[in-house]
Structure 1
Amino acid sequence: MEKPCEAPQSTINEKTLLVNTAIVGKKPSESSSHSPDNLRTYWWRWIVLCIFALNLAMTNIIWIPSAPIANTIICYYDVSLFWVNSLSEVYMLTYIILLFPAMWMLDKYGLRLSVMLGAGFDAAGAALKLAGTGSNFFWLLMFGQSLASLSNVFIWTAAPLLSEVWFPPKERATATAIGGAIAPQLGILLGLGLTPFIVHSDLNLQFAVCGNTTNPPYASPGETKEWSDFIFSRLLYFNIGVAALGLIVFILTIFWFCDAPPTPPSISRKLESEHKQSTGFQQFKEFLITTLGAFKNVYFVLYMIVAAIIIAVAGSVVSVINEVVHPYFPDYDEEIGYLGITAQATSILSMFVAGRVLDWTKAFYAVNLVVCILSVICVTLFAVLILFQDNFYLLYIPFVFLGLSMASFQAVAYEYAIEMTYPLPEGTSSGLINSGSQILSIITISFVGHFADKSVDNVPVGLWFMVGLTSLGCLITIFVRPELKRVKIDKK
């Protein structure tokens, strides 16, 4: 039986994997009869996009599930809030450390190898987390999470490149929205939604076993064992499901994910492919020069700051949702997780709409400005409603705004960054955008989590810190209005 993806073709001009008859729908002789100048799209692009989206969703399912049940994890594993937050922060740390090697590998070897590595790390990490389900094996849980975090840097960076390689200009922003923004949000949605649903317990019993900062535990040894055994069984069900899903996605990637079509879908992609003439060390040297050259683009540097702020604050709100909201609404422990679910659910629709609007209008500046203004409204309203402690269910309002604005920002950011840095490799511009957001996410989560952990009276400091950051990002956005280089090339 033939595989959908053939072995890599070693040509100087393009680093591609030729797609065989089953994918292209043409015999090899028919494909080669076309002129190299022809631009074509292939139906297999949607299969490739779906598998990529599954990988990125899988990465986020593994990343976020501890956030809505942070109090349960702290008590069950007998660890501090610092270690629970570290389960999230390790993803950001490994992304920063491995960003440049991952960008170079993506540029040199293409999509397939990077996505295969990411799928493998996800599957292995999920298996180790399954082995670390026992209450004495937090170190194994942390090791599995760290291993899975390696997938983030290899897969997340590749989303805009996949859109450029496989999709025509009229579909690129939509493909980036689906693969690079909707897929991770869907993964976060599942991670946030399934853990409170599967890993739940009687709150009175949990309070008796775990206590809090002012009340020590008072449960009997029998009650403690009963609670611990119940949490073990629920975590086991969840981890088995995640590990099985990780293995399925890895198998799909191995057999059905292809690197590139035989002919490019756009003029900009064709010119970019033909530009890559060097090999070996010279290619690595050129990669470093072009990457560092991106920082000479003032608009791109400013936009990196904006993207870092919006993406970091959005991720921080989701990551620290439990420790920020729970002190003010202690009776809504299970419902807190559904706030994040609301944001992710609304973001999926808004991301798709944002991608389609960009494909139709190319109005990058206007869409960015609207998203940033909505982000300021979202974070400010969240802070005000938390501090007034009036009605828990009013918090759903800012989380709807979070989904409509901040969570959908990535769908816009990747494409806008590529437009202002073309012909810089797509993985490089998106990688630099992501790296800034990861650095600021670590700072923001640590800052907000530190004050929330000390005392409920210090929570407002973290909230207003996020409001100030978002307002700064919105202000900078006003001055970011670059030339749309790739759009200009494709129009010609």
Structure 2
Amino acid sequence: MTDSKNLEVCGSVMDGVAEKGGVLDSPTKKTTVEYNVFPIRWLVLFIFVLYSATNSMQWLQYSIIQDAVVKYYGVTSITVYWTSMVYMITYIPLIFPASYLLDKTGLRITTIIGSFGTCAGAWLKVFSVPQDLFWLGFTGQTVVAISQVFILNVPPRLAAVWFGADQVSSACSIGVFGNQLGVALGFLLPPMIVRAQGTVEEIGADLQFMFYLVAGITSVLFVFILLFFKAAPPSPPSAAADFGSSLDSNFLKSIQKLLTNRNYILLLISYGLNVGVFYAISTLLNELVLTYYPGANEDAGRIGLVIVVAGMIGSVVCGLILDKTHRFKETTLVVYAASVVGMIIFTFTLDCGYIAVVYFSSIILGFFMAGYLPVGFEFASEVTYPEPEGTTSGILNACVQIFGIVLTLLFEWMLGAAGDRWANLALCALLALGTAVTAAIRPDLRRQAAQNKA
């Protein structure tokens, strides 16, 4: 069974560049052609969401229980924070070969590689529980981090290949939702499983259980991907996807075009500032919360969970808004400005003495800041069409990692040198700067123009 769509499509053209080799020949402008979207697309998207979640849940696996890890392994706090930042560092040099591989081999091959790495890294951590083997756990964390390069730039491409023009923004936001779901679990589960106040023996047993749990889940998902994850549908889902299959993309030329696109460069800066701030807060959230609420280790994890769950809701809401209105510039600017407001509220309520208030302010912060992630992806694909979405989002994420490393280190230094109030205000100022940069982006909606011509 398939759902039919006529050529008269009017939605976002995120499906601009379809999976090579899996689509029909491009139609002429004067011919009315029916395009089919296949129900299996939802299974493919669902598997990807779970796979993405199992990778991102390991991002904060150590840093959210930083005090317990320091106590058990006898390492420094900054060493624990590097288990989070290694995600950012490995992404920067590897995203270009990963984007090239995605462009040339398609979704299935890159997804299998990323899933295998995520699974292998999780199993290395299983054997790192002895107190003198933290280096092995760090190695496993690095393998999982490397596997991330085969995940973060996939949502816009997967949406392009499998979904029609009236669902593509929503599909992209659901794909990003997988990463956020994993981060949410990363905030929630480690503080629940690992008893920070326990004895060294209890912490060791808890770590062993947590590592086995994650390794088991990633193993099952790897098998599911081998069996059920498909590269592309039998036929293209839309006119723009059909046209995209006829394009012979040149990877180096695409990068050159992207890096000379004024709107894209401005978006790189604004997107990097927003998500970099989110990374900094997420990495150091445990320290922030314990400063004012000693012993509230589980609350630190739950507050992180609240931030991300609110962002997951924000992502889906924003995706639906984009599919209905196609007002990319306006939506991006409003969400960004609201992130500034959310960060200001979080800054001035953190030390209020009532942790319930911190939960509330975290909802506002998370809804807009984490909800901005798919909006930035979509806006980037609009202003860079018809360049491959994998390359566009890959460079966008590489920029994010650079900002994430710099802002996390800056935030960590400011917390010690000036206190959390001034450190948080510095992040507020950076978000305000990002809002101004976003306002300078011209709404050159190239995907919209291409779809309207169709």
Q: Please give the TM-score of this superposition, normalised by the length of structure 1.
A: 0.84
When the two chains are superposed, the root-mean-square deviation of aligned CA atoms in Å is: 1.9
Following superposition, the deviation at residue 274 of structure 1 comes to 0.3
Following superposition, the deviation at residue 461 of structure 1 comes to 3.8
Following superposition, the deviation at residue 405 of structure 1 comes to 0.3
> Is residue 2:450 matched to residue 1:484?
no
Find the counterpart in structure 1 of residue 225 from structure 2.
253
Deviation digits for residues 427-481 of structure 1 (CA, Å, limit 9, x no counterpart): 01111111111100001111112333x46x5333422221111110111111223
Find the counterpart in structure 2 of residue 108 from structure 1.
104
Equivalent position to 2:299, from 329, 335, 346: 335
Q: Supply the distance in 2 between the matched residues of 1:174 and 1:292 (Cα, whole angstroms).
A: 29
| Counterpart residue type for residue 203 of structure 2 | I
| Counterpart residue type for residue 42 of structure 1 | F
> Is residue 2:445 matched to residue 1:450?
no
| Counterpart residue type for residue 441 of structure 2 | V
- Contact 1:199–1:234 (CA under 8 A) maintained in structure 2: yes
- Contact 1:420–1:484 (CA under 8 A) maintained in structure 2: yes
Following superposition, the deviation at residue 36 of structure 1 comes to 11
- Contact 1:16–1:110 (CA under 8 A) maintained in structure 2: no
Find the counterpart in structure 2 of residue 183 from structure 1.
178
Find the counterpart in structure 2 of residue 68 from structure 1.
64
| Counterpart residue type for residue 306 of structure 1 | S
Deviation digits for residues 372-420 of structure 1 (CA, Å, limit 9, x no counterpart): 111101111222223x443232211221012210101111111110011
Find the counterpart in structure 1 of residue 434 from structure 2.
473
Equivalent position to 1:392, from 355, 358, 371: 355
CA distance 1:14–1:251, shift in 2 (3 Å): closer
Equivalent position to 1:232, from 204, 209, 212: 204
Find the counterpart in structure 2 of residue 210 from structure 1.
none
- Contact 2:303–2:362 (CA under 8 A) maintained in structure 1: yes
Q: Supply the distance in 2 between the matched residues of 1:323 and 1:87 (Cα, whole angstroms).
A: 15
Find the counterpart in structure 1 of residue 373 from structure 2.
410
- Contact 2:55–2:148 (CA under 8 A) maintained in structure 1: yes
Following superposition, the deviation at residue 81 of structure 1 comes to 1.2
The residue matched to 1:62 in structure 2 has which SS? Answer: coil
The residue matched to 2:440 in structure 1 has which SS? Answer: coil
Q: Supply the distance in 1 between the matched residues of 2:121 and 2:172 (Cα, whole angstroms).
A: 26
> Is residue 2:338 matched to residue 1:374?
yes
Find the counterpart in structure 2 of residue 459 from structure 1.
420
- Contact 1:314–1:402 (CA under 8 A) maintained in structure 2: no
Q: How does 1:46-57 map to 2 (within 5 A)?
A: 46-57=42-53
Higher relative contact order (CA 8 A, sep 6+): 2
Q: Supply the distance in 2 between the matched residues of 1:291 and 1:17 (Cα, whole angstroms).
A: 24
After the TM superposition, which parts of structure 1 deviate over 3 Å for at least 4 consecutive aligned residues?
35-38, 457-461
| Counterpart residue type for residue 180 of structure 2 | Q
Q: Supply the distance in 1 between the matched residues of 2:370 and 2:63 (Cα, whole angstroms).
A: 17
Deviation digits for residues 213-244 of structure 1 (CA, Å, limit 9, x no counterpart): xxxxxxxxxxxxxx111001111111111000
Find the counterpart in structure 1 of residue 145 from structure 2.
149
Q: How does 1:275-290 map to 2 (within 5 A)?
A: 275-276=247-248, 286-290=250-254
Following superposition, the deviation at residue 38 of structure 1 comes to 4.2
- Contact 1:422–1:485 (CA under 8 A) maintained in structure 2: yes
Q: How does 1:12-411 map to 2 (within 5 A)?
A: 15-16=20-21, 38-179=34-175, 181-202=176-197, 227-276=199-248, 286-386=250-350, 388-411=351-374
- Contact 2:315–2:371 (CA under 8 A) maintained in structure 1: yes
Deviation digits for residues 333-377 of structure 1 (CA, Å, limit 9, x no counterpart): 321111111111222222111111111111111211121111101
CA distance 1:36–1:77, shift in 2 (3 Å): farther
CA distance 1:14–1:124, shift in 2 (3 Å): closer
Q: Supply the distance in 2 between the matched residues of 1:201 and 1:103 (Cα, whole angstroms).
A: 40
| Counterpart residue type for residue 361 of structure 1 | T
| Counterpart residue type for residue 271 of structure 1 | F
Identity level (%) = 31
CA distance 1:252–1:407, shift in 2 (3 Å): same
- Contact 1:299–1:480 (CA under 8 A) maintained in structure 2: yes
- Contact 1:267–1:489 (CA under 8 A) maintained in structure 2: no
The residue matched to 2:120 in structure 1 has which SS? Answer: helix
Following superposition, the deviation at residue 273 of structure 1 comes to 1.1
Q: Supply the distance in 1 between the matched residues of 2:21 and 2:43 (Cα, whole angstroms).
A: 17
The residue matched to 2:232 in structure 1 has which SS? Answer: coil
Following superposition, the deviation at residue 201 of structure 1 comes to 4.2
- Contact 2:38–2:233 (CA under 8 A) maintained in structure 1: yes
The residue matched to 1:64 in structure 2 has which SS? Answer: coil
Find the counterpart in structure 2 of residue 209 from structure 1.
none
How many residues align? The count is 430
Deviation digits for residues 44-93 of structure 1 (CA, Å, limit 9, x no counterpart): 11111111111111111121222321111111111111111111111111
- Contact 2:125–2:141 (CA under 8 A) maintained in structure 1: yes
Q: Supply the distance in 1 between the matched residues of 2:443 and 2:261 (Cα, whole angstroms).
A: 10
| Counterpart residue type for residue 268 of structure 2 | M
Unaligned runs of 5+ in 1: 1-12, 19-34, 207-226, 277-282
Q: Supply the distance in 1 between the matched residues of 2:228 and 2:177 (Cα, whole angstroms).
A: 21
Following superposition, the deviation at residue 122 of structure 1 comes to 0.2
Q: Supply the distance in 2 between the matched residues of 1:162 and 1:43 (Cα, whole angstroms).
A: 14
The residue matched to 1:188 in structure 2 has which SS? Answer: helix
Q: Please give the TM-score of this superposition, normalised by the length of structure 2.
A: 0.91
Find the counterpart in structure 2 of residue 421 from structure 1.
384
Q: Supply the distance in 1 between the matched residues of 2:19 and 2:404 (Cα, whole angstroms).
A: 36
Q: Supply the distance in 2 between the matched residues of 1:36 and 1:70 (Cα, whole angstroms).
A: 59
